[in-house]
Structures are given as C-alpha cells and as structure tokens.
Structure 1
Amino acid sequence: MAMLDRLTDPGHTALVTCECQHGVLGPDAVFPDLVDAAAKTGLVRNIRELSAAARRVGVPVLHCTALRRPDGLGASGNARLFAAAAKVAAARPGAALAPGSAAAGLHPGIGADASADLVLPRLHGLGPFQDTGLASVLRNLGARTLVCVGVSLNVALLELAFGAVDAGFQVVLPRDAVAGTPPEYAEAVLTHTLALVATVTDTGELLRRWTP
C-alpha cells in the first residue's frame, strides 16, 4: 500500500498512545469490560511491539494520560462518564488515577521508555487534545501523521482522532491496537465513523513498514 508507506514514513510520523495506564488496562481497572475488550485484540502486546519498532526507526512515542486528584480539584464534572469513574475510584482507591499513583502510571506491558518517550497528562476533558499542548509538541517534533493507539473507542480515542484531524494531522489507526466496549460497537465505530477520517490498518502492516 503505497499510500500507507507515505503516510507512516518515519520522518514525519509520531506514535500516540491514549490512556494506556495501569488503572485503565490493569487488573484493578476502573472499567473491567474495557480490559476484557483490550485483551481480545492483544492491545497491550501490539502497542509494545509498535512502540519498540517506532523507536528503532526514529518515530517519537508520546503517551497521553488521564489523571484525577483525590479531591477532584481541576477535574471535569460535566459528563456522566466523569461521575461514573469518580464513583468507582472512590469505592476502589487502587483504581484511582491520582497523580503519582501506580494506577496513573503507564501499563508496564506496553514497554514505555522513560529516557526516550514523552508523557502528556491531563486533569480534565474527554481526550488528549484538551489543553495538553499535544498539537504544539507534535508540530515541534515535525509530525504530520499520527498513529493513534490505546483506549477507548467509546470516548477518548474518538476525541484524539477528531482532534488530530481538526489540527491538520493525518491519522492512522491499527484496529488491533485500539479497543472499546462492547466489541461490536468498537468494530462499528471503526468501520462507519473513524474510517471516514482516518486510515484504518493493523499492527502487522505498520511493523512491516517500520522494520529497518
């Protein structure tokens, strides 16, 4: 696919992970159904492989994370999703995405590299383009195409994809490195919504293009 070769050329591509955190994808996650859906796609393994391949060919890796202070200061409260997540976190403190906590940290299975990768956290909003400086950082890195991975296709990844397109970036989505719930919804949104604004591919296709 010549178009995919051009889109994902390492010279102008960045890999962006979305909410790949221990409290989102780990055993004590806020939404267990999302963990199950991610497991079915092999999401964590695929993101680890994509991240390693990206670094080998000079593609920058950025991790966009969601945080919430224990007192909720600065957090969004204007959507049912925020209230549901706060309720679960209050009942299971181990799942709370408090700054500096194990839950807020990147999932160990994705193989983040603290010396090479960038981490951009947010305290509010539905996705990574909400006042995180993501667009500016990406432009400073020379990125024109974003390979977006992580969770979820229900909310945050939608915001990431739409925000990227609105900011002028091309978007590539490997279908086996993203997840949402229920799985049939995730497949439908990839096919009927995201395929209209992004190039949908899979991990294997990207790994073949990022093999030195």
Structure 2
Amino acid sequence: MDIDPNRTAVICVECQNGVIGESAVLPALAQSAVGLIAQLRPLLTSARSAGVTVAHAVYTGSLGGSVHEPAPMWRKLGVLSDTWTDRAPEAQVVPALRDESDLLLARHHGLNPARDTELLPVLRGRGVDTVVLAGVSLNVALILLTGEAIHQGFRVVIPRDAVIATPDTYGPLILDNSLRMLAHLTTSQALIDAWS
C-alpha cells in the first residue's frame, strides 16, 4: 500500500473512557470494543514510529449548553454526557492509546467529529491529505467523518480491524456495502507493513 507517512494522520475517534473505557455510557458499544484497544496499540505505535500524525477526536461535553440535536440517539447521549468537561475522566483518551506526541482535538457538539470542528483544518495545516480512521463507531461517527473528510478533499483509509460497530455483525455490512464506496479498506497489518 502506498501511503506517505508525512502526509497521513491516524484519527482515533472517541477512544475515550466515557465511550469505550471504564466509564462507558453505552454498554453495548463498550462490550463490542473489548478487543479494540489491544488491536489499536500496535497500529498507533507503528504510526508514531513512522512519523504519522496521531490525532484523537473526542467528545468532551456541551460546556453547559443545551443539546439541540434532532437525532433520537443524541437525546439519550446528551443526558448521559451533560456533565462532561475537558478534564472529566469520561473525556480522557483511554490511557493505553494516548501518547504525549498525539494531537487531542475535542468537540462540544454534534455526532460528527469533523463537522464545524478544528479536526480537519488542523490536519490540513500539518500537510495531511490522507486520514486513516480508527475507533468507534461505524454506526454513526465514522460514517459521518468519512463523508466530511471526502467532501473536504481528504483520501480516507479504514483498517477493517481498527473500527467497530454494535452489534458486531453490523460492522462488516457497513464496511462492505457503504464505506467501501468512499474509502480504501485495508487492515492494520497492511499499514504497519507499509510504515516499516
């Protein structure tokens, strides 16, 4: 696989304590993510060693504002996360995935990690034109981020084993029937080999 480390970023989406960690607010998603952390560690280590930017896109609460999202999912999540702040344990990246060299890009609204946030402009400013998406979940955030990145001119790469959905059986369906038309699907090992 031809992927230039200097023009690539791995974006870990919502790999934070309140989503897949010890204080997860969506138990089914956290259960699906049990093996994800171990799967992501070698990918992120390889990326950092090769000079690939690693960015964590986290949700850190609405800063006391009310949530005006029409999605039924958001009505539940807004209540569960309304006390989160940038320093709240739930907003912190799962420790096993965090490195001091990583970028931490928080958002305080919406289900889309890139819509009206600094995520993609910051990466573009660093010379990135290819984003590798990892994390959770294929149900909503990763689909929305893929679309936003494509619209903004980024090449999107998704390692099949670095993303999950709930239920587990839904992930391959999303990848094979929707995301394969928008992104290059690969594996973590193929990326590790490319960066070695």
What TM-score, normalized to structure 2?
0.93
CA distance in 1, matches of 2:105, 2:133: 14
Match of 1:113 in 2: 99
* Structure 1, unpaired ranges of 5+: 91-95
Q: Tell me which amino acid in the other structure corresponds to 2:7.
A: H
CA distance in 2, matches of 1:136, 1:13: 14
- List, as ranges, runs of 4+ consecutive aligned residues in structure 1 with deviation greater than 4 Å: none
Q: How far off its partner does 1:119 sit?
A: 0.9
What TM-score, normalized to structure 1?
0.86
Q: How far off its partner does 1:186 sit?
A: 1.3
* Structure 2, unpaired ranges of 5+: none
Q: How far off its partner does 1:77 sit?
A: 3.1
CA distance in 1, matches of 2:87, 2:49: 29
Moved more, 58-67 or 125-134: 125-134
Q: Which of 140, 154, 160 is the equivalent residue of 2:145? A: 160
Give the aligned length. Answer: 196
Q: Tell me which amino acid in the other structure corresponds to 1:85.
A: L
Mapping for residues 121-140 of structure 1, pairs under 5 Å: 121-140=106-125
CA distance in 2, matches of 1:11, 1:81: 37
Q: Is the 8 A contact 2:67 2:78 kept in 1?
A: no
Q: Which of 32, 38, 41 is the equivalent residue of 1:45? A: 38
Higher helix share: 1
Q: Tell me which amino acid in the other structure corresponds to 1:14.
A: A
- Secondary structure of residue in 2 paired with 1:63: strand
Q: Is the 8 A contact 2:61 2:81 kept in 1?
A: no
Match of 1:93 in 2: none
Is 1:186–2:181 an aligned residue pair?
A: no
CA distance in 2, matches of 1:76, 1:59: 36
Match of 2:11 in 1: 16
Q: Tell me which amino acid in the other structure corresponds to 1:82.
A: W
What CA deviation, in whole Å up to 9, does each residue of 1:61-90 have, x standing for no partner?
11111121473x154432211111134457
Mapping for residues 69-148 of structure 1, pairs under 5 Å: 69=62, 71=64, 73=65, 75-89=67-81, 97-110=84-97, 112-114=98-100, 116-148=101-133
CA distance in 1, matches of 2:67, 2:42: 33
Q: Which of 54, 79, 86 is the equivalent residue of 1:61? A: 54
